[in-house]
Amino acid sequence: MRLIEKGIAQVFAHGKPVRDEMAFTAADGTTGLYEHTFHPAPGPDGSVEFVAGCKREITASRRAEQALRESEAEFRTLATGMPQIVWASAPDGEVFYLNPRWIEHTGRPLVDSLGWGWVEAVHPDDRREVRQTRRWRCGPRRISRWRRGWEPPMAATAGGCCAAFPSASTDGW
């Protein structure tokens, strides 16, 4: 039984939607991927009266997903192997990534440092100022005890998040 017929038969048999993917080869020899989705259409008595289906070409999206997975893996390999602290945050300062150097340097567990937990590693005299900052700007370097020695952050071109990388300093930061 072909994949499409099998999907339709499953919907009739179980009354639940079925989704599957199928590889194809075009006339020019290129390969791709289709997604088939089948949904039951219940009749007056609740049984499946007919099946509605949809087919769409998903090759580009699957290739983009694979490229993203590879890019993320490369980033994590690089960030994990670096001897410096690497982090990424939303524009408001909420941190969503810290590499292992953060844990080594601060002694704080990762789970306690994500979000706004990283602020607990900031000098107590500076925490209030850090918490009151409503929008972290990716701009000129600002010197204070909690940022001394850090390079200016780099903004994502879409303006979505910032990342900053430490520079050498004499005070451990």
| Domains in the chain with CATH codes | 3-61 (3.30.450.20), 80-164 (3.30.450)
pLDDT 10s digits, 114-150? 998 998 888 888 888 877 765 555 444 443 334 444 4
Residue burial 12-35, b: 16+ Cβ < 10 Å; e: rest: eeeeeebeeeeeeeeeeeeeebbb
pLDDT 10s digits, 38-81? 999 999 998 999 999 999 999 999 999 999 999 999 998 999 99
Q: How far apart are CA 168 and CA 151, in angstroms?
A: 9
Q: How far apart are CA 15 and CA 46, in angstroms?
A: 9
**Which residue type, as a one-letter code, is found at position 8?**
I
Percent of the chain with pLDDT over 70: 76
| pTM (2 d.p.) | 0.56
Query: Residue 110, Cα to own-chain centre: how many angstroms?
Result: 17
Q: What is the mean pLDDT of residues 23-28?
A: 93
Query: Any bridge partners for residue 166, and if so which?
Result: 150
Answer positive or negative: Cα dihedral of 12, 16, 17, 21: negative
Give the confidence band of 92 by pLDDT, cuts at 50, 70, 90: confident
Q: How far apart are CA 3 and CA 38, in angstroms?
A: 12
Helix (H, G, I), strand (E, B) or coil at 124: helix
Matching residue, tokens 């930061």: 173
- What letter does residue 120 receive in the DSSP assignment? G
